[in-house]
Amino acid sequence: MRGMTSQTWLITGASTGLGRVLAETVLAHGDRVVATARNVTALDDLVGPGADDVVRLPLDVTDHDQVRAAVAEAVERAGAIDVLVNNAGHGLLGALEELSDEQIRRIMATNVFGVLAVTRAVLPHMRARRSGHIVQMSSVGGAVGNPGHALYATSKFALEGMSEALAGEVGPLGIRVTIVEPGPFRTEFLGRSMEFAEPIDDYRSTPAGRLREHFATGDGAQPNDPRRAAEAIIRAVRDESSPLRLPLGPEAVTRIREKLRRQLADLDAWEKVSLDTRYPEV
Enzyme catalytic residues: 138, 152, 156
Instruction: Give every CB contact of residue 171 below 8 A, 6+ residues apart in sequence.
Output: 177
At 214, the amino acid letter reads H
Instruction: Give every CB contact of residue 273 below 8 A, 6+ residues apart in sequence.
Output: none
DSSP secondary structure of 7-21: -EEEESS-SSHHHHH
Q: Where are the alpha helices (DSSP H) in the chain?
A: 17-28, 64-78, 101-108, 115-129, 150-170, 207-218, 226-238, 250-269, 271-275
Could you tell me the CA-to-CA distances from 229 to 18, 78, 97, 245, 257 in Å, in that order? 8, 25, 34, 14, 19
Question: What sign does the CA torsion over 59, 62, 68, 71 have?
Answer: positive
Which of 45, 12, 22 minimizes the C-alpha distance to 235? 22
Residue 154 and residue 110 in contact, taking contact as beta carbons nearer than 8 Å = no
